[in-house]
Chains A and B, each alone.
Chain A
Amino acid sequence: MDGMLAPRRPLIYLDANATEPLRPQARAAVLAALDAVGNPSSIHAAGRGARRLLEDARSRIAARFGMAAADVVFTSGGTEANALALAGLSGGRRVIIGATEHDAVRAAAPGAAVLPVSRAGAADLSALEQLLAEGPALLCLMMANNETGVLHPIAEAAQLCRRYGALLHVDAVQAAGRMAFTLDGLGADSLALSGHKLGGPPGAGALLLRTGLDVQALIAGGGQERGRRGGTPALPAIAGFAAALDHDQDMAAMAPLRDRAEAAACAAGAIVCGGGARLPNTTCLARPGVRADTQVIALDLAGIAVSAGAACSSGKVARSHVLSAMGLGELAGCAIRVSLPWNATEADVDAFATAYAALPARMAA
């Protein structure tokens, strides 16, 4: 098998929250950037051309979130953007993170106070107020959860943060490109974004900072990104990231497709984890008594790619900390995530429904 791809089979990809397929306009932008020779820091014609691509991408991303271009710091991805925010904005402040944050945030803030969530998965605002009253804080809250799609009450949390003088960093990795919002509209102080979660290629992300806020670089270098992030920028990935955001697809129109998948799964015995406002493309389906990895493998054999939670280092399936935090107990080990990509079709959803109905009803968990 060395040197060649494993045999392919027709595949229905419903794991968009791990990575979105490349959008066509992002493909074009990646190709154009791969064609451009030149380091954006060089002053000759090739360098100036690369610089234009970089600054054009920066301006377009800034505009999308109602910001100035100078407040966009390009990083290698969402993990680095979150780490940069946590390291750069926490000086002298207590760090508070949501109980259902991504591993990237949990690992970057090991001593943080944890803000509990409701059974539906949303941050508990009265608990937040108590935590904020204890002293100056940096709150790190994700806009949309990667496993359940549940949206946190960011605007309300932002009001509380303002009242108590706290800073608010929003991990917007799953929400960006799927909902329209601005930094000011949310009332946030910073946003973390990831290109490959919104239809760009992997390898680029950004930290967006409220004007006037600054961060100390995690990666020292040749003065790139206004001294906030060293290293030659990943131009093709950045160009693809900006282009992928420039779409006019109404992602809310995906909700009926998601609801169709959900209804079929529920008819086959699934329980939906998480409620209230959610991303339009995501559902988290628990099947009592059937281990999540068993379900994922069975669906994979049927040619359907879903996941049992976050795609991270181990590849092994641990009990979801997200569902545990929601108080779902045993169900936390029995849930799969179905996340529709931007190009999902009704036929994809129906194929999923058929395969899901054929899963064993109950097995030793």
Chain B
Amino acid sequence: MIYLDNQATTACDPAVVAAMMPYFLEEFGNPHSAEHAMGERAADAVARARGHIAALIGAEPREIVLTSGATEANNLAIKGAARQAGTAGPHRIVTVATEHKCVLQTVLDLADEGFEPVVLPVDRNGLLDPDRLRHALRTPTLLVSIMAVNNETGVIQDLAALGAIARQAGALLHSDLAQAAGKIALDVGTMGLHLGSLSAHKLYGPKGIGALYVRRRPRVRLKPLFSGGGQERGLRSGTVPAPLVVGFGEACRLAAIHLASEPARIAGLRAHMARRLEADIPGLIHNNAGAPVVAGNLSLRLPHTNALQVIAGASDICVSTGSACTSAEVAPSHVLTAMGLTRAEAASTLRIGIGRFTSAADIDAAAAALANAHARAMPEHAEA
């Protein structure tokens, strides 16, 4: 099996597993049991990990609120900011049509609470036009949520420019950083972010842990999604899962180191994969050709075929049609249709995600298998 779906989830790095093991086994204390030595040691480990998470995005440890993952962080950021502000001030919440489903759903759900969701379109390359944002923000706006890197196309939004527009308009700026962290350099200060969501399992950490960056100066105030023991400064109740946090911290520490060389290596593999597939599949189209894209991502339209047939025909190769959450759905990708692709074009799209553990041999084998599966999936008339 060759795993090329690193946008959906990544393998846990063996160094991350090794870092977690002591905290699953002998150091299993509850980090909130500060009264005894075992609880203290777990709390120390969580504090060190929080430092690594913060460092990856240029934040302070106190600005990191641990959550169960990016979905929860996105919910906490958007609902939390809206519910804290209430509907006395600006009602408008602006996001983009290509956001992850959990962001779109959260923004749309807030209509029931008296807010005004606005979903902005993107261009054919998946980019948000700054003028569109400026226009939307003529109406006073509470919050703008724009993902840094898209999970289906790998397209990088120009957050520096878009964020400046949001800030000038006096809106809070949230970004889903799940697909960006560990792939491109991030600094919440230079990006001007108020809120940012992270996920461990998208950067070679474990599933079940993530974080929300919440700026402290000036302080961004949120209402928690649910209450309880008041952990994480009252923003996220529940026992902090120390082993998972340690794994997340180690994953962030490693990501910061790998940022120096990993993107270039992965970009080389992607170029090789693209060349192989372009040679074997005439008429292959890159969905994101006109936009900056993170290193590991390919979003390819296969001529005259349904991508699901190609995936089924290359059963040893783990690739996808789009977001994992919706990959079992027959509906076309909302990201690709937002970019102006027809249903048929969206259905012919294959997403390939190259990662840390992908080798050149993997690329050769996968390219051959995919090209072969494509040839077999081609309708008879197209071969003529």
Contact = CB atoms under 8 A, between A and B. Distances in A.
A, B in one complex: yes
Interface of A: 1-3, 5-6, 8-9, 11, 13, 15, 18-19, 21-22, 27, 30-31, 34-35, 37-39, 41-47, 50, 76-80, 82-84, 87, 102-104, 107-108, 110, 194, 196, 201-204, 218-224, 230-238, 293, 296-297, 299-300, 305-308, 310-317
A2 B71 CA distance: 31
Contact of A312 (B3, B37, B109, B231): B231
Contacts of B71: 219-222, 230-232
Given A18-B32, A238-B208, A310-B229, 17 more contacts: A5-B45, A8-B41, A27-B25, A38-B5, A43-B320, A46-B318, A79-B229, A196-B30, A218-B226, A219-B75, A222-B100, A222-B101, A222-B325, A231-B68, A231-B102, A236-B207, A312-B231
Contacts of B41: 5-6, 8
B40 A305 contact: no
Interface string B320-364: 100111111000000000000000000000000000000000000
A11 B38 CA distance: 8
A47 B102 contact: no
20 contacts: A5-B45, A15-B33, A34-B206, A38-B5, A41-B325, A43-B328, A87-B226, A196-B30, A219-B68, A219-B102, A220-B102, A221-B101, A221-B102, A222-B102, A234-B207, A236-B207, A237-B208, A237-B241, A305-B29, A312-B230
A25 B224 CA distance: 35
B35 A5 contact: no
A22 B24 contact: yes
Nearest to B68: A76
A38 B9 contact: yes
Contacts of B130: none
B28 A19 contact: yes
A103 B239 CA distance: 12
A45 B225 contact: no
Contacts of B244: 201-203, 234, 236-237
Contacts of A237: 208, 241, 244
B115 to A, nearest CB: 14
Nearest to A17: B30
Nearest to B20: A34
Contacts of B101: 221-223
Contact of B241 (A31, A202, A299): A202
Interface of B: 1, 3, 5, 8-12, 17, 20, 22, 24-25, 27-30, 32-41, 43-45, 48, 67-72, 75, 100-102, 105-106, 109, 199, 201, 206-209, 225-231, 234, 237-244, 311, 315-320, 323-328
B241 A220 contact: no
Residue among B209, B237, B326 facing the most chain A CB atoms (10 A cut-off) = B237
B104 to A, nearest CB: 9
Nearest to B108: A220
When A and B form their complex, which 4 residue pairs have the shortest distance between CB atoms, in order from nearest?
A234-B208, A222-B325, A315-B34, A203-B241
Contacts of B33: 15, 18-19, 305, 307, 311
B35 A296 contact: yes
A194 B106 CA distance: 26
A218 to B, nearest CB: 5
